Structure 1
């Protein structure tokens, strides 16, 4: 009889581009855990059925959630950490000791980890996007008391509402607007991702110490990061946050901390 292994997965639409299986399966192998991690495409109108099906599968340990489900999934699971009121988006679903499904968010911690040593208190920031990833970013920024935050988004009203929600001062601008100088610029949108529209931003007005942080990781070297490097600006790529948030989720799914001492080897696999 074939052994049925515990498993976790990442859901989204599209999802084939996801590198999460490489990360989690790498850690599972290093730790000798008999389990697997896979992608599973879930269209928006299939989300409720997906959650219902997995709820009854004892081998399912949970899932990571990506575009476009980070907001909608909150209607289908419990929220013990009050993520809806704080970050406003979930990226991780798991099963508690009673067997019930709950949601949380590991994006905020994953985003903040690589900039934890940067003195951003009182510094101005630009954030592109107003979806689930952007909300995790704004939540993190609100906790470190940054200065003015400029959100770039097609829907300016939605972006303005997010500033108010997270208690941030700043402004919302449409794409193509002239940007103010900022210490940190974050692309938290899907723009620039393979299969999506390009993100075009003029970085000429940014200071020489600006950090350009793109959460997109397919392609790893986005148009935004290439433009930043041509100016000699410091950059952070999307793999950094991806690995950071995955580490928190891995421990939730499989009960052990991932072996982060192998990060150099892991990154080599992720850029192939």
Structure 2
């Protein structure tokens, strides 16, 4: 693309961020749509984030994705925020307004969009969802999973206080007693995944070969989907064990595409092509 003085700038903020696939994803969509815009990566230090974000706003950087460790601070600094962002306290997408950045969170919708594209009929088939983890990643996907119509959501975690907190958060988002929401300790993993239709790893476990996770899926639903939100490896040990037990295994690369697609829609008013974005990332050398 040709960069001019009128080229608009978008980007992603995180630390570390040089590994990010978002510039490849978003710049491809920008080129396909014919927009005079470019998408870059910004890596401020934690203590410099507030100043950096204010500087980007003053410099008319039109929109940003935000990733670890800045999602909570981005939500706090936003001039306006969606209801989801206000409740979960984290933002992954910012859009510039005349007075500052508006905060959104597209993580959950991005996960659902990925499942819509790669796991046909998952909404109809999913009654019990088990989420491994009770931190920010798990919180970010709650609204979309509740909206998908699950009858029961289970959390598995090592920290009892965090598990209690996320259960209460999920109940407040559900606004209905019709959904069963509860938690299990990590030591009760077998009970937590029994009969589950969708199991989501929302922990950092599996991002490297140094920490891995594999489970016995024999008592899950026969057509259970095992979803690992990590994508640093093309196939984590969790997904390898799922495939070996004839379960559908999906990594988080599609969620990255999905949340990016909804961010693009927030910035430009149109949803880009999920399939083209997904293929762009899975076909690149990593």
TM class, shorter-chain normalised? 0.7 to 0.9
- The residue aligned with 1:52 is 54
User: TM-score normalized by structure 1?
Assistant: 0.87
Structure 1 runs not aligned, ≥5 long: none
Q: Tell me the CA shift for residue 120 of structure 1.
A: 5.2
Q: Following the alignment from structure 1 to structure 2, what is the Cα–Cα distance between the partners of residues 153 and 222?
A: 19
- The residue aligned with 2:174 is none
Q: Following the alignment from structure 1 to structure 2, what is the Cα–Cα distance between the partners of residues 218 and 198?
A: 12
User: Once structures 1 and 2 are overlaid, which stretch shifts more, 252-261 or 135-144?
Assistant: 252-261
- The residue aligned with 2:91 is 90
User: Once structures 1 and 2 are overlaid, which stretch shifts more, 173-182 or 260-269?
Assistant: 260-269
- Any residues of structure 2 matched to 1:196-215 within 5 Å, and which? 197-215=211-229
Q: Following the alignment from structure 1 to structure 2, what is the Cα–Cα distance between the partners of residues 35 and 251?
A: 14
- Tell me the alpha carbon deviations over residues 4-49 of structure 1, each in whole angstroms, 9 at most, x when there is no partner: 4322111222222211111001112222323221222233322212
Q: Tell me the CA shift for residue 99 of structure 1.
A: 4.3
User: TM-score normalized by structure 2?
Assistant: 0.83
Which of the numbers 144, 156, 159 marks the counterpart of 1:155? 159
How has the CA–CA distance of structure 1 residues 78 and 196 changed in structure 2, closer, same or farther, with 3 Å as cutoff? Answer: farther
The yes-or-no answer on 1:124 pairing with 2:128 is yes
- Tell me the alpha carbon deviations over residues 121-179 of structure 1, each in whole angstroms, 9 at most, x when there is no partner: 77221102223321122222222342332212232211222112221534323334333
How has the CA–CA distance of structure 1 residues 114 and 257 changed in structure 2, closer, same or farther, with 3 Å as cutoff? Answer: closer
Instruction: Calculate the aligned-residue CA RMSD, in Å.
Output: 2.5
- The residue aligned with 2:175 is none
Are the aligned partners of 2:85 and 2:105 in contact in 1 as well (CA < 8 Å)? no
Are the aligned partners of 1:10 and 1:40 in contact in 2 as well (CA < 8 Å)? yes
- The residue aligned with 1:172 is 183
Task: State the 4+ residue runs in structure 1 displaced beyond 4 angstroms.
Answer: none
Q: Following the alignment from structure 1 to structure 2, what is the Cα–Cα distance between the partners of residues 246 and 149?
A: 25
Structure 2 runs not aligned, ≥5 long: 172-178
How has the CA–CA distance of structure 1 residues 21 and 263 changed in structure 2, closer, same or farther, with 3 Å as cutoff? Answer: closer
How has the CA–CA distance of structure 1 residues 202 and 258 changed in structure 2, closer, same or farther, with 3 Å as cutoff? Answer: same
